[in-house]
Amino acid sequence: SILLLHRPAAAHDKLLGGLLADGFDEGSCHSKYQSAMYRRNNAGKEPSPHLVSRLRRHEELQRRCGPGTAAYSNAVESLRTGKSGGIVSPPETECRYLVSISYRGLGNRMLAAASAFLYAMLTDRVLLVDPSNEMGELFCEPFPGTTWLLPPAGFPLTNYTSFSIDTAESYGNMLKNKVITTDDAAGDVPTPHQHLPAFAYIHLDHDYTFHDKFFFCDDDQSVLRNVPWLVMRTDSYIVPGLFLVTGFQAELDSLFPETDAVFHHLARYLFHPNNHIWGLVTRYYDAYLATARQRVGVQVRVFGARQESPKVLEQITACTHMENLLPDVTTTGEPTVVAAPATTRRRLKPKAVLVTSLTSWYYEKLKGMYWEHATATGEAVSVHQPSHEEYQRFGSGSHDAKACAEIYLLSLTDALVTSGWSTFGYVAQGLAGLTPRVMYKPANESSAVPDPPCRRDVSMEPCFLTPPYNNCRMKRSAHSGKVVAHVQNCHDVPWGLKLV
């Protein structure tokens, strides 16, 4: 029957092409299996069979070595006593860990967690996310049958959340102070005379040093492989940097035959808003967006003290008009081109604009514009904004929940206009699978509206805003535009790197 014929396809969709494991308790996380129903904008990016099988294998590793297992207790005990991975590689059965510190805004935290997850997968490490910044309060557990959150009680590195550029155990500082060397790492044999520490702190914040940047080099990855615990701090999407490591390239190629969809798959695998946030998303979508003919997301992020900028408003209207996303308005109050007689027009569903911003000013202006003036095409345009939080807050659950819901709502639109430099927009476009029109950041408040006001981005991938520019001890030629295949500079941040 038709019903039966449709069933496998529906199941396939529900699990996002095999990205998600089956058999999860659906009541505990509605978004996990319902999001496919809300996405009409399917980018047509299918996860590769290799990615699917590696995800299942990684879930198995997380269950075997994660919190609550004997392996985990042993590893924590070794960390407490300072026992290292030792002189030779730990046997394959031994578990190794990556603790990911999440900090700054939600977009930053999501990019960091996705990056850490990919690095964990590439290096067979158990990913444990620092719980101190609401990651556990916003998202469902991604790994079935275990937890991705680091249990704070009993973790021996009690001050890990304050690790910084000065931490003596940072990989960069240990290299600089010759506590660790990479001299013998190039060969296949493990460094014979080097005693490795029980843990290393990987500092990948924007202020990271010349030595910290060696993280993105092959020799250094060979050394780090034998350190049982890594604690990583980044607020960036470091994945383009992982593509620079020759040793990862073959695996990355088979995991992601489409290099412009790496974050798309990682994000759809990892980030499922919890039931409270999913309620915020679906109630809003059903009430204001579901019936529209087309949904256009406009993400307005203004960096600087003054949130309300007439120039940014002009940039938005110029961009949406130039890109044919939204109609222009007339000054006469009458449509210039009457596409259809009034009777037909009334049956034409409106275009819906979803604005997200810390202020309601842009929303008010756009809404007023489409109320007070007729559109040139005669189309109706409705304008919506879920919240206006006025300023960025830290450590507030309800603030983060709204930010999370809005990122997700943006990802359910059919076309996106984003603000350059903003990780908030990067996450939305990646989840959506949409290559956005990105608006350039004006140089300062008094500078003119950028011309052109926006441009179709080169891919849906986030930009790595602070990539390494060292050349791995002269073994790799320094960066010049195109670094390796599929990695190039970002439109919005010229020195940034992104996958295409």
For ligand GDP, the binding residues in 71-110 under the rule CB under 6 A are 104-108
Cα separation, 338 vs 376, whole angstroms: 8
Min. distance of Cβ 367 from ligand GDP in angstroms?
16
The verdict on 399 binding ligand GDP (CB under 6 A) reads yes
Closest by CA to 377, choosing from 319, 322, 329, is: 329
Instruction: Specify the residue for token string 């202006």.
Output: 365
For the beta carbon of residue 46, count every other beta carbon within 10 angstroms. Answer: 18
Structure tokens belonging to residue 330: 């007339």
Please tell me whether residue 234 binds ligand GDP under the rule CB under 6 A: no
Pick the piece of the chain touching ligand GDP (CB under 6 A) from 305-313, 421-429, 456-464, 471-479.
Answer: 421-429
Among the listed residues 102, 133, 173, 387, the single contact to ligand GDP using CB under 6 A: 387
CA dihedral 37, 39, 45, 49 (to 10 degrees): -20
Residue closer to ligand GDP (CB basis): 216 or 421: 421
Of 83 and 388, the one with the shorter C-beta distance to ligand GDP is: 388
Closest to ligand GDP by CB, 104 or 295: 104
Is residue 302 involved in binding ligand GDP (CB under 6 A)? no
Judged by CB under 6 A, does residue 129 bind ligand GDP? no
Stretch that binds ligand GDP, among 236-244, 397-405, 443-451, 492-500 (CB under 6 A): 397-405
- Angle at which helix 397-410 crosses helix 106-122, to 10 degrees, equals 70
Least CB distance from residue 208 to ligand GDP, whole Å? Answer: 18
Residue 336 Cβ, how far from ligand GDP at the closest point, in Å?
A: 33
- Per CB under 6 A, the list member of 125, 203, 211, 301 interacting with ligand GDP is 301
Is 358 one of the binding residues for ligand GDP (CB under 6 A)? yes
Strand ranges in 73-210 using DSSP code E only, listed in sequence order: 97-101, 126-129, 199-203
Measured distance CA(19)–CA(34) in Å, rounded: 14
Among 218, 219, 406, 457, binds ligand GDP (CB under 6 A): 406
Q: Candidates 69, 181, 209, 392: give the one binding ligand GDP (CB under 6 A).
A: 392
Among 249, 389, 458, 500, binds ligand GDP (CB under 6 A): 389
Residues numbered 172 to 231 that lie near ligand GDP (CB under 6 A) are none
With CB under 6 A as the contact rule, which of the stretches 29-37, 92-100, 222-230, 399-407 interacts with ligand GDP? 399-407
Stretch that binds ligand GDP, among 137-145, 148-156, 202-210, 354-362 (CB under 6 A): 354-362
Q: How far is the CB of 181 from ligand GDP (least distance, A)?
A: 36
424-483 positions binding ligand GDP, by CB under 6 A: 424
Q: Which is nearer to ligand GDP, 170 or 356 (CB)?
A: 356
Chain-centroid distance of CA 281 in Å reads: 18
* Two structure tokens written together for 36: 């496919």
CB-CB contact of 20 with 272 (8 Å): no
Number of Cα atoms under 13 Å in the Cβ half of residue 428: 34
Query: Which CB atom, from 299 or from 317, has the smaller least distance to ligand GDP?
Result: 299
Q: Which of 221, 315, 357, 488 binds ligand GDP (CB under 6 A)?
A: 357
Task: Specify whether the CB–CB gap between 303 and 493 falls below 8 A.
Answer: no
Tokens 């300062």 sit on residue? 444
Nearest CA among 403, 404, 406, 350 for reference residue 381: 350
Query: What does the DSSP assignment read for 291-357?
Result: T-SEEEEEE----SS----HHHHHHHHHHHHHTTSS--B-SSSS-SS--S-HHHHHHSPPEEEEEE-
> How many residues of this chain bind ligand GDP (CB under 6 A)?
19
Q: Is 23 left (phi over 0), alpha (psi -120 to 50) or beta?
A: left
Rounded to a whole number of angstroms, the minimum distance from the CB of residue 237 to ligand GDP is 11
What are the structure tokens assigned to 155, written together? Answer: 């973790």
Cβ at position 421, least distance to ligand GDP in Å: 7
**In the β-sheet with 199-203, what is the strand arrangement from edge to edge?**
126-129, 97-101, 229-233, 199-203
First-to-last C-alpha distance (Å) of the chain = 42
CB closest to ligand GDP, residue no: 105
- In the complex, least distance from residue 496 CB atom to ligand GDP, rounded to whole angstroms: 12
**Site for ligand GDP contains 423 (CB under 6 A):** yes
Interface residues toward ligand GDP, by CB under 6 A: 104-108, 301, 356-358, 387, 389, 392, 399, 402-403, 406, 422-424
